[in-house]
Amino acid sequence: MRFAVRLPALLSIALSARLVAAQDGGALTLDAALARTLQQNPDVRIARLRADSSRAEVRIARAYANPTLAVAPNNPWQYSIAAPLDVGPQRTYRIRTANDGVLASQHDARDSERMIRFAVRAAFFDLLLADTLRSIAREQRDIFRDLLAADSARVRAGDMPERNLVKSELELAKSEADLLKSDAAVRAARLALQSTMGVTRPDTGLRVSGSLILRPLAAIAALPTAFFSPDDSRIARRADVQAARSRTQASEDSRSFASALLIPVPELMLVQQRDDPFPNGQHYALGVGVQLPAWNWFSGERERASVSLQQSRLAEERVRVQAVTEIISALDQLRATEQLAKKFDAGLLEKARSSLETARYAYSAGAISYIEFLDAVRTYGEIRAAAATSAHDYWVSAYAAVRALDNEEAKP
């Protein structure tokens, strides 16, 4: 989906200096924040450690059992060494199950990165919005400061009643309080971003470099919502769906392993009798042994594996349905925020700006009342804040769609 009209410089002018954070080398960009997050975020690091641990499980599954050394004293002295011939189906399915666990943990690590990328992006744009709202509060404060100075001069000249001066002082006090709240919100947003990134020593003076200016997302918005189903190939590529599928495969291999327990693993033995030879005249003899399932037919293991497989299949189905729901909801939300942004693009913000300038000139000429001028100032501030918020919501929705599709190539 493309914008019906090209986004002109309207939003760029309206949000201008405060929609773009500091551009000098000391400011943190979104890409730099993501790179640092993938290196130091605890959740991502834990997920990667789990993947490393699962690879160790493969080495454990591949390991052969240690041989057993036995001594039979006297009558006569015998020495024996025995080792199981672990080359049958038990070994095959044991290793397959471990490999499936590795794949599942690797997909879990990818899924953790998918989620944390969105969290950092959302926190980054939260900070941009907080900084923009602070600039709006600062501009409101400056307007009322100038208004108070002008009203003071008019009161001294006898052109205005003193009650208007008191109202101007009150409005200035309110705007200064709003500015202080905005400063606190910016610091909180900075801390939230660094906390999401995994920074151990957050900086309340962090500066970021970014923009709330809108850009269309044709690669995402063109996707039809009705086309998605649990069997869609794009659903199957999601990290969480792949992890669920790997766990289902691991359960299938575990069930096969449980059935393979009925096939005994042979044990090869070598016996040495030093003093007297065996009847064949040799001091060495070979032996073979097996463990017979006489009392334990491993029915519990097989039943447990079958139930685990059913649980894995249900869990995989649930993950697929949740993925479809998330994608459709994310794309719908993206289109809704895009439509709201178009309304500001249609000229609402510029009309508010023009109305404010007209009201300011009319008030200075005595053509409108103080209440009408205050209403124009507040309306302009509210529309600017709404425009910034809609741009913020658009970007968060866009990255939510990227997260839902698990497709970094489709990012803005």
- Count of all residues that appear for the chain in the document: 412
Q: Assess if residue 396 is contained within a domain.
A: yes
Q: Assess if residue 82 is contained within a domain.
A: no
Q: Give the domain range for residue 104.
A: 9-67+93-140+191-266+325-410
What is the C-alpha separation between 30 and 47, in angstroms, rounded?
A: 23
- State the pLDDT at residue 225: 63
Q: Assess if residue 146 is contained within a domain.
A: no
Q: Assess if residue 84 is contained within a domain.
A: no
Q: Assess if residue 309 is contained within a domain.
A: no
Q: Assess if residue 339 is contained within a domain.
A: yes
| DSSP letter assigned to residue 347 | I
**Using alpha carbons only, what angle is made at residue 217 by residues 395 and 396, rounded to the nearest 5 degrees?**
15
Q: Domain tally for the chain? A: 1
User: What's 109's domain CATH number?
Assistant: 1.20.1600.10
CA dihedral 276, 278, 281, 285 (to 10 degrees): -120
Beta bridge partners of 199: none
Segment among 32-41, 203-212, 366-375, 392-401 with least mean pLDDT = 366-375
pLDDT(219) > 80 = no
In tens, the pLDDT along 191-212 reads: 999 999 999 999 999 999 988 8
In tens, the pLDDT along 294-331 reads: 888 899 999 999 999 999 999 999 999 999 999 989 98
What is the C-alpha separation between 271 and 268, in angstroms, rounded?
A: 10
Question: Mean pLDDT, to the nearest integer, of 167-193?
Answer: 93
pLDDT(410) > 80 = no
Q: Helices 9-19 and 349-364 sit at what angle, rounded to 10 degrees? A: 70
Q: Indicate the pTM of the whole model.
A: 0.82
What is the C-alpha separation between 28 and 12, in angstroms, rounded?
A: 21
Q: Assess if residue 277 is contained within a domain.
A: no
Q: Assess if residue 393 is contained within a domain.
A: yes
